[in-house]
């Protein structure tokens, strides 16, 4: 089965996490661009129109829920995969209400990402 190359936008304030996720995506032949903050991520989503967004929920300038809401406000219908170390029930429900397609735990395992993409890719 041939893998379709997708462009991912990684939005995470942690450089270590961005590098880790980028390496995992490249393992499967995908391309990625990176944003260090929610605000920068929104700008990059507008400019680059990625196929998927991999989004951290806890960031200093604008949290992941605010990013997702702003994407909706701007009619950017880009599938979002949330990657986080801690996900409370209320945050999970809010993410689902905003159309998040998957949740992955940090550190990201490529098999888990593949499963989300298989379901929604």
pLDDT in tens, 11-46: 999 999 999 899 989 988 999 999 999 999 999 999
The answer to whether the CB of 76 falls within 8 A of the CB of 98 is no
Say if pTM beats, i.e. exceeds, 0.75.
yes
In the chain, the domains with their CATH numbers are 7-120 (3.40.50.2300)
pLDDT averaged over every residue in the chain: 90
Distance, in Å, from the CA atom of 51 to the CA atom of 10, rounded to the nearest integer, reads 11
- Around Cβ 51, how many Cβ atoms within 10 Å? 17
- Around Cβ 21, how many Cβ atoms within 10 Å? 26
Average pLDDT estimate for 44-52: 97
Q: b vs e for 26-43, b when ≥16 Cβ sit within 10 Å of the residue's Cβ?
A: eeeebebbbbbbbbebbe
């Amino acid at each position: 089965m041939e893998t379709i190359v997708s462009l991912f936008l990684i939005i995470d304030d942690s450089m270590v996490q961005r590098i880790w996720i980028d390496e995992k995506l490249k393992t499967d032949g995908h391309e990625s661009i990176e944003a260090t903050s929610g605000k920068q991520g929104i700008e990059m989503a507008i400019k680059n129109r990625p196929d998927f967004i991999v989004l951290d929920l806890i960031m200093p300038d604008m949290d992941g829920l605010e990013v997702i809401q702003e994407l909706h406000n701007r009619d950017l219908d880009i599938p979002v995969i949330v990657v986080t170390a801690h996900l409370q029930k209320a945050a999970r429900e809010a993410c689902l209400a905003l159309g998040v397609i998957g949740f992955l735990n940090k550190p990201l395992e490529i098999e888990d990402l593949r499963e989300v993409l298989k379901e929604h890719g």
